[in-house]
Amino acid sequence: MRATVAEINIQNLKHNYNRIKAIAPQSKMMAIVKANAYGHGMVKIAKILQEEGSDFFGVAFADEGAILRDNGITKPIVVLFPGAIHEAPIYCNYDLQPIASSKRFMTAINEEAKNQGVDIKAHLLIETGMHREGIKVELVPDFLSFMSELKNIELIAACTHFATAQDNKEFALHQLRLFLDTIDNLKSDGYFFQYLHAANSAGIGNFPDAQLNIIRPGLSLYGYPPAKDLEEVFAVKPIMKLLTKVIITHRIKQGESVGYSRLFIADKDTTIATLPLGYGDGFTRAQTGKANCLINGKKYPIVGSICMDACMVDVGDDNIKSGDQVVIIGNQGSESILATDIARVINTIPYEVTTAIAARVPRVYV
């Protein structure tokens, strides 16, 4: 196994699952495991959460759902992004639940389901302000009339997606009111849905009325609250440590440079430690000149341009040697570097930091 690994803490994952359940005890759980479970390893994460009791799993694409089915996931799997026509057989072969927001795609699903002699459950996606996909409120009655003609599809749920639950509560509440008013109007017209869902992690924490009877946590499952003011509400623990080891060390003199384009020039004699981790592993070049790491419980700067397969650390005159463990994300001693810390430095979000960890980095579950 490589010196560079992503170590996934199973107990922290279970802790996070149960913390979120405690916030919304009346709601079923749709654990969001798309994008390789936000970089944490979709198959293993889903297996652990299925054993823990997750009621549904949410993925972005049908191929992700097929992988879960092939690896023993039996709970309902909802594909949260509209599919393409040619993917209809995957939904039917693997009993996946599509998002209903396209007449053309739902027609293809129904035809394939009829040919296979199966019935498909689907979730109506109502557009309330995200403007990415979904049926606009004024078009919902016509869409439901159309869906009633598709005999091999059952609409078991209606849902929406918040655009600003973490940072603009007023707009999120507008979306929630629009969604609930639409559902009430549909009830008066004789439409009933077994399930309603709207709340992502931020929605779960900020809007109890949005918890409905399914919640859709993503980032919080992996140990990061969706906003700083929700840290105490969630009390979750990061489940990933990104670890590597010092491969080689060498002394350089004052005035000598490190790496491509000579972006770092030593202002004194120092020791450089080379790590087998680079942007090919998801340790992005955007962190060049900004990143740190932990060695022997002390924080050191990563210097020079981050390479595809390596990066370099200025360890000064400290006794750092080949084989010493290095923490890129996680804690060591009293020091820590979290995905949120990295995101802040490079002006992004922790979602991007963890999902960027490449497939060639082994996931180790402890």
How far apart (Å, rounded) are the C-alpha atoms in residues 310 and 283?
A: 9
How far apart (Å, rounded) are the C-alpha atoms in residues 152 and 110?
A: 6
Residue 312 amino acid letter? M
Say which residues have a Cβ less than 8 Å from residue 1's Cβ, sequence separation at least 6: 362, 364
CA-nearest of 317, 305, 320 to 269 is 317
Question: 323-361, pLDDT tens digit by residue?
Answer: 999 999 999 999 999 999 999 999 999 999 999 999 999
Output the pLDDT for position 1.
Answer: 83
Q: Is 45 left (phi over 0), alpha (psi -120 to 50) or beta?
A: alpha
Structure tokens at 312: 């370099």
Burial of residue 150, with CB atoms counted within 10 A of its CB: 0-12 exposed, 13-18 middle, 19 or more buried: buried
Q: What is the CA radius of gyration of the chain?
A: 24
**Cα dist from 2 to 275, 334, 361, whole Å:** 12, 26, 8
CA-nearest of 1, 5, 9, 11 to 326 is 5
- Mind listing the domains of the chain with CATH numbers? 10-229 (3.20.20.10), 240-337 (2.40.37.10)
Output the pLDDT for position 45.
Answer: 98
59 neighbors 48 (Cβ within 8 angstroms):
no
Catalytic residues: 34, 260
Output the pLDDT for position 361.
Answer: 98
Structure tokens at 292: 């740190």
CA-nearest of 42, 89, 36, 82 to 61 is 82
Output the pLDDT for position 55.
Answer: 98
Q: Is 197 left (phi over 0), alpha (psi -120 to 50) or beta?
A: beta
Question: Strands 363-365 and 257-258, how do they pair?
Answer: unpaired
| pTM value surpassing 0.75 | yes
- List the alpha helices (DSSP H) in the chain: 10-23, 34-39, 42-52, 62-70, 88-94, 103-116, 140-147, 169-188, 201-206, 231-234, 339-345, 350-355
Residues of the chain with pLDDT under 70: none
Output the pLDDT for position 251.
Answer: 97
Question: 245-294, pLDDT tens digit by residue?
Answer: 999 999 999 999 999 999 999 999 999 999 999 999 999 999 999 999 99
